[in-house]
A and B are shown apart, each in its own frame.
Chain A
């Protein structure tokens, strides 16, 4: 028991299901995948669904069940967010796909995570590879937004839709982890964790672990974690924007994006969380109006090229709404 206890892992890693049978929900998906294992054959796969629903875990578990614990020998993992260019597809991926097939396995696997972030060129190149080397290599593509995968690739894949996790499943898993860790936890706190992370299991477990590092897992500690995890710059940015201080608000935004490396979508979500909190003293109708525009901007973020420009539009909107609210107040 020496080094195990001395060195801890993040619980997301420590409690990650290793085989398909360990995956708690997504029963439909798991059943179909297990069929592939039995037949030792499968088509190209596309796993689609919101973050933290077990797509990547399922892919790894599938490979594990197929090849055994050393499955990584037969699988090329690429994260398209980090390596998404056509060069990677033509280089690494092509090299691996066409390499000879070891005699003991039916096919190799190329796992492309976050493949909705691949450029159009790269997708076109990929499409050819999927055809050319299908006899020795299968592709598993993972995506949050399958609509961003080009049609010809989608049509070559069996599509698996991962559904958002049910509250009771998330809570059950969290409770199980607490039990294993010997930690006291409130049922209510676990539910709050689920709500905050919107069913994202990865986020849920991270919040759980951070809460446990403060003390018991209770509602107050969970909120403490959420408060601490979100840089105060978000609230400051909203405040400054509502006061009409555009440039200062933008400085905060840049700090969040560049220094902390927080993505635009995540900033939107954090603003959304602040929006209905009591700390933000604004007229109720304004909350709705802001939420409306938040949704619009989040949509454009996914479609657009530059996240800062989109968020600046949001700051401009907040500045305008902030002024309107002020005039209403003084008129009363």
Chain B
């Protein structure tokens, strides 16, 4: 129902936080190209992501360049449309807003290379880029997540949806029964777009909207369950087949599903014995998944799914009531935490890479077998730390990552050692100080010993 697409920012309902974030971001562009050149709007379907971008473009008078899932989005297509638009410099200060709709719908096979191209365009764009996705936690989108500003859209409540439907009925002069509106609002699960479509479908043919008509005319739209719903269905299953069925009616891949279950299982289940039994199955399901990845034996997949769904739900026997308790579910937090700790992890990885090169080891080994001991040295001995930092050619921020508490002292000493060494070249012979210097660390005037103490 194109007619009721929001035209103004104010028409987009109940997304105040997202609105504020996006307006701020767009206004930055009028001053200069901001740090974050792209945003990723995410949230359930039909909550106003695309509409908000369209309204934003209208409100600020920006030309909107849109590519959505119905377009081919191969590398060449993106280069032809999005990249060309992205690189156009505005002369008048009137820039373009590029919208890549439904990026989670980019096909891995048909649109090969698309995500890489998008990332590439984000690096160089002179114009703001907005993307939308229902599920930003798709592992494939991870590099994208790291490169953009994430803006969350909330699913609309039944009340929100009802309000809009009523307004439309009023505007259109439709006779709508209260309970029919309720029914539509209930059914749409927060998806306003589908609610409006439903309303339109009934109203168009009959001119009035009653509960009976609605019930008869609207066949249940076939939809995959949202992750929260899948998890809930799995937990409350009484029979093994129920749990399995729930696990199959979702877009989530088994390795995503297991993460959702893993995240929320301890929130739902409190009896320690139940929880452990459930985790035993989850752990075994994960072993199957591991074998599938490593050996490519996809025929093991159904066992993994059996265990993570039916295995989990049927483990709950001591405190059966806990299955039905209402608890607030979470997105798999490890994904979120990973996004939040981006900078620290980046630094850690850079450091691990330096060490890996020096020691002929993998970054993983550097992280577990080297960095902890480096940390001990850096936290206890400024002198040794500074020398190592110089020897390994560590950056200041790496030093800080290793030892917050001593960072400034170490860096100071590093600089002194550096200047000393350049001076040293001019006057090579100095008196020899052979004792080990533990008590003079960091003090000026004794630095010559650093060059001669070890022979």
B345 near A6 (CB under 8 angstroms)?
no
A213 near B384 (CB under 8 angstroms)?
yes
B356 near A319 (CB under 8 angstroms)?
no
Q: Which listed segment binds B: A40-48, A112-120, A168-176? A: A112-120
A70 within 8 A of B: no
**Which residues in chain A, 148-175, are within 8 Å of chain B measured between CB atoms?**
148
Interface residues contributed by chain A, number (CB under 8 Å): 74
Cα-based distance from A27 to B319 in the complex (angstroms): 60
Cα-based distance from A10 to B356 in the complex (angstroms): 12
Contacts of B375 in A (CB 8 A): 228-229
A13 within 8 A of B: yes
B15 within 8 A of A: no
B294 near A209 (CB under 8 angstroms)?
no
**Is chain A's interface secondary structure helix, strand, loop, or mixed overall?**
helix
Which residue of A has the minimal Cβ distance to B261?
A: A309
A13 near B276 (CB under 8 angstroms)?
no
Contacts of A5 in B (CB 8 A): 387, 450-455
Contacts of A57 in B (CB 8 A): 360
> Which of A181, A200, A309, A322 has the most CB atoms of chain B within a 10 A radius of its CB?
A309
B90 within 8 A of A: no
Cα-based distance from A244 to B252 in the complex (angstroms): 30
Which of B283, B333, B349 is A313 in contact with, Cβ under 8 Å?
B283
A9 within 8 A of B: yes
B376 near A82 (CB under 8 angstroms)?
no
> What's the least CB distance linking B265 to chain A, in Å?
8
B296 within 8 A of A: yes
B361 near A2 (CB under 8 angstroms)?
no
Which of A10, A316, A320 is B359 in contact with, Cβ under 8 Å?
A10
Cα-based distance from A207 to B355 in the complex (angstroms): 16
Given A119-B294, A263-B367, A313-B282, answer yes or no on A182-B454 (Cβ-Cβ < 8 Å): yes
Cα-based distance from A202 to B366 in the complex (angstroms): 11
Which residue of A has the minimal Cβ distance to B421?
A: A6
Contacts of B345 in A (CB 8 A): 258-259, 261
B341 within 8 A of A: yes
Cα-based distance from A257 to B338 in the complex (angstroms): 10
Contacts of A300 in B (CB 8 A): 283-284, 286-287
Which of A1, A230, A254 is B452 in contact with, Cβ under 8 Å?
A1
Q: How large is the interface on B (under 10, 10 to 19, 20 to 34, 35 or more residues)?
A: 35 or more
A113 near B362 (CB under 8 angstroms)?
yes
A215 near B359 (CB under 8 angstroms)?
no
Cα-based distance from A6 to B390 in the complex (angstroms): 8
Contacts of A8 in B (CB 8 A): 384, 387-388, 390-391
Contacts of B287 in A (CB 8 A): 300, 303-305
> What's the least CB distance linking B297 to chain A, in Å?
9
B370 near A10 (CB under 8 angstroms)?
yes
Chain A 183-220 near chain B by CB (<8 Å), digits 1 or 0: 00000000000000000101100110110011100000
> What's the least CB distance linking A85 to chain B, in Å?
12
B381 near A213 (CB under 8 angstroms)?
yes
**Which residues in chain B, 341-359, are within 8 Å of chain A measured between CB atoms?**
341, 344-345, 348-349, 352, 355-356, 358-359
Contacts of A297 in B (CB 8 A): 283
Contacts of B453 in A (CB 8 A): 5
**Which residues in chain B, 374-418, are within 8 Å of chain A measured between CB atoms?**
374-377, 379-381, 384-385, 387-388, 390-392, 417
Cα-based distance from A308 to B338 in the complex (angstroms): 13
A312 within 8 A of B: yes
Cα-based distance from A257 to B289 in the complex (angstroms): 20
Given A206-B369, A215-B438, A323-B272, answer yes or no on A13-B451 (Cβ-Cβ < 8 Å): no
Which of A12, A203, A213, A258 is B377 in contact with, Cβ under 8 Å?
A213
A317 within 8 A of B: yes
Contacts of A260 in B (CB 8 A): 348, 367
B289 near A306 (CB under 8 angstroms)?
yes
**Which residues in chain B, 16-72, are within 8 Å of chain A measured between CB atoms?**
none
B293 within 8 A of A: yes
Contacts of A52 in B (CB 8 A): 369
B451 near A1 (CB under 8 angstroms)?
yes
Contacts of A230 in B (CB 8 A): 372
A77 near B360 (CB under 8 angstroms)?
yes
Given A10-B358, A213-B381, A309-B258, answer yes or no on A2-B290 (Cβ-Cβ < 8 Å): no
Q: What are the 10 closest A-B residue pairs judged by CB atoms, nearest first? A: A81-B362, A7-B391, A8-B387, A313-B283, A229-B372, A304-B290, A213-B381, A305-B290, A7-B390, A316-B279
Which residues does B use to contact A, with CB under 8 Å? 255, 258-259, 262, 266-267, 272-273, 275-276, 278-280, 282-284, 286-287, 289-296, 333-334, 337-338, 341, 344-345, 348-349, 352, 355-356, 358-365, 367-377, 379-381, 384-385, 387-388, 390-392, 417, 420-421, 424-425, 428, 436, 438, 450-455
Given contacts A9-B391, A254-B337, A306-B286, 13 further A-B contacts (CB under 8 A): A2-B451, A5-B452, A8-B388, A9-B388, A10-B355, A81-B363, A209-B373, A210-B376, A262-B367, A303-B291, A313-B279, A313-B282, A317-B276
- 13 A-B pairs within 8 Å (CB atoms) are namely A3-B421, A7-B390, A8-B388, A10-B355, A114-B362, A200-B369, A230-B372, A246-B266, A258-B345, A259-B345, A263-B368, A309-B258, A317-B279
